[in-house]
Structure 1
Amino acid sequence: MAERHRPPLRICLLSYRSNPHCGGQGVYVRNLSKALRDLGHAVDVISGPPLPVLDNGVRLTYLPGLDLYNPEDLFRTPSIRELADPVNLLEWLGVSTMGFPEPLTFGIRAFGFLRNRLGRYDILHDNQSLSYGIWALKDRIPVIPTIHHPITVDRDIAVRSVRSWWKKLKHLRWYSFIGMQIRVARKFSRIITVSECTRHDISREFAIPARRFRVIPNGINTGLFYPMPEIRRDPRRIIVTNSADMPLKGLYYLLQAIAGIAGKAPDLKLVVVGTPKPNGGVVKLIRRLGIGDRIRFTGRISDEAFVMEYARAGMAVVPSVYEGFGLPAGEAMACGVPVISTTGGALPEVVGDAGILVPPADPHALGAAIQRLMDHPDHARDLGMKGLKRVQENFTWRTAAIKTVEAYREVIHAHR
């Protein structure tokens, strides 16, 4: 039966953390919910802090937690009244012992909120909380999760990035929620993931048969990310957007690459969209390499300013060691910026032949690719055009939403 002749669905999209400015979770929730609504479906989003930015017609329900990782009030001490709530107490104890309890506690809160409201929905879509609370609902209503990439990769890279046994233990404690996520993920008959690479890696890391996965690539918001040909590009201006102090994102290797070619390009500049941790590893490395005059951190910027930064850039670099999909690569391509990317994770599936691909964790290869684009501006321009075309033809949120609805209906049918 054609989709247009089938009844619209009532969808509940759950997201334990939906920051619209950092990471991909908030981007996924906003764009997928809008695309589902545009197809005629009713969408409610239930989120913990920080909240997503949603479009008109998508209803938001806020499940407040302690929000102890809020950078404006980091690791605050909760009040006695707050800690009288057992779930809040569990969250505070988890954070106090260097853990990350938010997926667990969000799932408990979601269970309490939804258990008497399940009749409002046809399906629950869990955005990677993989919590016991969501598991507890799956026999009463169809549930499908999205797993963007195996968090075991983040954990292993973080542990290898430090030498001190104490710091290794801290990373292992932080990622201790993974055990819950693996146990819960194994209970679902269907799982959405965003690339063939992540299907393979999650299947291996979580011991889940590959046949249970439905690969649905993310879209790119081309209404937000688009070329601005009236703005002149600076061929020696590089843009990178990532979580600066996360080893997984590879900024350390890009900084080493910049230092390696600085002598050949005295006017080379790197713009980092983000904010470094005060006196963290990135700041210390910049100081040690002596390249502080070439690096600018934007801090948090508006969407309009973000697109302007892309418009001025001569190239975008995605130095990640691993990506489950690679939104920064797709967003740069949508702006017509030539892209240099590692082959970490699913990035080759996004970039294809529309960018330069180099091995991950290789500063020399990154530096050579940057030099190549600076020396050959015609090649850089061609890559920018190819990247824009690739995004327009392959990565739209409408296509992602249509495929997601197909997965919903499959799970709903199997649940009957």
Structure 2
Amino acid sequence: MTAEAGVDRPLRVALLSYKGNPFCGGQGVYVRHLSRELARLGHRIEVIGAQPYPVLDEGVTLTELPSLDLYRQPDPFRTPKRDEYRDWVDVLEVATMWTGGFPEPLTFSLRARRELAARRAEFDVVHDNQTLGYGLLGIERLGLPLVTTIHHPITVDRRLDLAAAADRRRRFSVRRWYGFTRMQKRVARRLPTVLTVSGASRREIVEDFAVPADRVHVVPIGADARVFHPDPATPKVPGRIVTTSSADAPLKGLVHLIEALAKLRTEHPRAHLLVVGNRPATGPVADAMDRFGLHRAVEFRKGISDEELADLVRGAEIACVPSLYEGFSLPAAEAMASGTPLVATTGGAIPEVAGPDGETCLAVPPGDAGALAAALARLLTDEELRTRIAHAGRERVLRRFTWEQAARATAEHYRAALAERAAPAEKTARAQTPAHRRS
């Protein structure tokens, strides 16, 4: 290993994030917490991101690499004004949106490569957060080792959305929107180092993206135990169930939790649901609340801080993760760290986080509203069980799933990528050195 890849030298890392909303989805959460912990380890972290820009902690630099922000509220799918266009990448972004596709992974990767080409001497390693755009393939030619995180293949979301599509027109729209997954498959196969957050995601990446298994490494993420922890001063709200749902998408399984709540309230009328996320005006969740008359029993909160979220989770009697699939499940880890007993499905990697049924959580099959209702009722009526599961769940998270552990493991992969890139150059240099000088 050369001095360039030395184990003690702080690293200069460009962390790429094409989408960094800290209140919607896991990518912004990942970028914020991982960058903070890497900085605490002494590394210099610069996040290069597009809208919505990530919220970062002290010690981490944000470089804005703006897109045209075509999906911003309150005017999503907007057509930019003529003076907003800057170059051909902007034209490509609009043209893809106009034809029903999702351009951001591709266009961000092209802009990121251009940015890094101009600043290649400022970084030791580039870490991409699931962009998987064609522009990434040029980064190693700049002399920069590349490490990529794939939380889970978006092909999983595509399959679930196609299965939920009501008609041929909707299926066509879903296929066009997810057209970028073909690019992501091609790019993923050519990446030298892929990090992912669970064994379940690793299997999906190998199967769906055909990435060689020896290139995919599991680095679990977790909860910020400094924020998510028990607090006896926080009163429990009787009957409250809390869940996090970043979107009204089949993947998140919120509609099944709404159906479970309707069943639960026939015997436990105080049971009610607090959803951390946006209230959908239309769609399956809104339809289910109308059908069961649950609008007054379901509350939505959005745009809250980590501290506010931790208070809400601590104040609930039960936390629930009803997802059909998760590549990891940060909400499960955060609830367990907070000392709130968990009901969770067995979708995807959730069991890797939540642990054994009856010990650290109550586990139910995904998509089964009846099983969800039964598990929630069991916890609501058994205080001793709630206490035991809550304690065991927190201990599991502290042992296995913290951001500090994730940052240390990620930095090890940075150094391995640096060493691997340095090895061919060293071998060539030795071959070109005369034998009498090597002796």
Q: Distance in 2 between matches of 1:386 and 1:133?
A: 45
Tell me which of 378, 385, 402 is aligned to 1:372.
378
> Is the 2:222–2:334 Cα contact (8 Å) retained in structure 1?
no
Superposed, 1:59-78 pairs within 5 Å as 59-78=61-80
Q: SS of the residue aligned with 2:25?
A: coil
Q: Within the alignment, does 1:122 sit opposite 2:124 as a pair?
A: yes
CA deviation vs aligned residue, 1:40-66 (integer Å, no higher than 9, x gap): 111111001111111122111000111
Does residue 325 of structure 2 align to residue 322 of structure 1? Answer: yes
Structure 1 gaps of 5+ residues are: none
1:354-365 maps to which residues of 2 (within 5 A)?
Answer: 354-365=360-371
Cα deviation, residue 188, structure 1? 1.2
Q: Is 1:406 paired with 2:408?
A: no
Equivalent position to 2:227, from 224, 227, 247 = 224
Shift of 1:170: 0.8
Partner of 1:243: 246
CA-to-partner distance for each residue in 1:190-230, whole Å, 9 max, x for gaps? Answer: 21001111111110111112111111000311222222211
After TM superposition, the structure 1 stretch with the greater mean CA deviation from structure 2, 370-379 or 223-232, is 223-232
More displaced 10-residue stretch of structure 1: 26-35 or 64-73: 64-73
CA contact (8 A) 1:235 1:315 kept: no
Aligned: 1:146 with 2:125: no
Give the distance between the partners of 1:165 and 1:276, measured in 2 at CA. Answer: 27
* 3-state secondary structure, aligned to 1:73: coil
Contact 1:145–1:192 at 8 Å: present in 2 too? yes
Within 5 Å, which residues of 2 pair with 1:265-276? 265-276=268-279
Match of 1:82 in 2: 84
- What's 1:292 paired with? 295
The answer to whether the 8 A contact 1:343-1:359 is kept is yes
Shift of residue 293, structure 1, vs aligned partner: 2.1
Equivalence for 2:398: 392
- Name the CA shift for 1:32/1:276 in 2 (closer, same or farther; >3 Å): same
Check the 8 A contact 2:39/2:60 in 1, yes or no.
Answer: yes
**8 Å CA contact 1:218, 1:395 repeated in 2:** yes
CA distance in 2, matches of 1:93, 1:5: 46
Q: Note the 1:187-226 alignment, pairs <5 A.
A: 187-226=190-229
What code does the residue aligned with 1:70 have?
R
Shift of 1:4: 9.4
Q: How far apart, CA to CA, are the structure 1 residues paired with 2:118 and 2:235?
A: 57
- CA distance in structure 1 between the partners assigned to 2:6 and 2:58 by the alignment: 22
Which amino acid in structure 1 is aligned with residue 22 of structure 2? Answer: P
Query: Is the contact made by 1:235 and 1:377 (CA closer than 8 Å) also made in structure 2?
Result: no
Rg larger in 1 or in 2? 2
Alignment of 1:17-96 (within 5 A): 17-83=19-85, 85-96=87-98
Structure 1 contact 99–173 (Cα < 8 Å) conserved: yes
Q: Are the aligned partners of 1:244 and 1:282 in contact in 2 as well (CA < 8 Å)?
A: no
**Structure 1 CA distance, aligned partners of 2:205 and 2:245?**
22
**Aligned position for 2:338:** 335
Query: Match for 1:175: what amino acid?
Result: Y
Q: Call closer, same or farther: CA 1:135–1:368 in 2, change over 3 Å.
A: same
* SS, match of residue 74 in structure 2: helix
- Describe the superposition over 1:121-172 as per-residue Cα deviations: whole angstroms up to 9, x where unpaired: 1110000001111111123311010000011110000010122111111111
Tell me the CA shift for residue 75 of structure 1: 2.3
Residues 270-312 of structure 1 deviation map (CA, whole Å, 9 limit, x = unaligned):
1111112322321122101222221111232233322221122
Say if 2:350 is the partner of 1:344.
no
CA distance in 2: counterparts of 1:378 and 1:19, whole angstroms: 38
Deviations 1:356-395 (A, max 9, x none): 1111111111111001101211101111111111111111
**Take 2:302 and 2:404, find their aligned partners in 1: how far apart are those partners?**
31
Q: Distance in 1 between matches of 2:411 and 2:209?
A: 25
Instruction: Spell out, residue by residue over 1:63-110, the C-alpha distance to the aligned partner (whole angstroms, 9 max, x if none).
Output: 011111112332222110223521111111111222111000000111
**Contact conserved, 1:229 with 1:311, CA < 8 A, in 2?**
no
Per the normalisation by structure 1, the TM-score is 0.97
Q: How much has 1:32 moved relative to structure 2?
A: 0.8
Q: Distance in 2 between matches of 1:220 and 1:120?
A: 31
Per the TM alignment, residue 5 of structure 1 is displaced from its structure 2 partner at its CA by 5.5
Asked if the contact 2:238–2:270 (Cα under 8 Å) also holds between the matched residues in 1, the reply is no
- Is the 8 Å Cα contact of residues 23 and 302 (structure 2) preserved in structure 1? no
Shift of 1:331: 0.8
- Between the two proteins, the alignment pairs up a number of residues equal to 415
Segments ≥4 residues shifted beyond 3 Å = none
CA distance, structure 2, for counterparts of residue 306 and residue 13 of structure 1: 26
- Over the matched positions of the two proteins, sequence identity in percent amounts to 45
- Alignment root-mean-square deviation, CA: 1.5
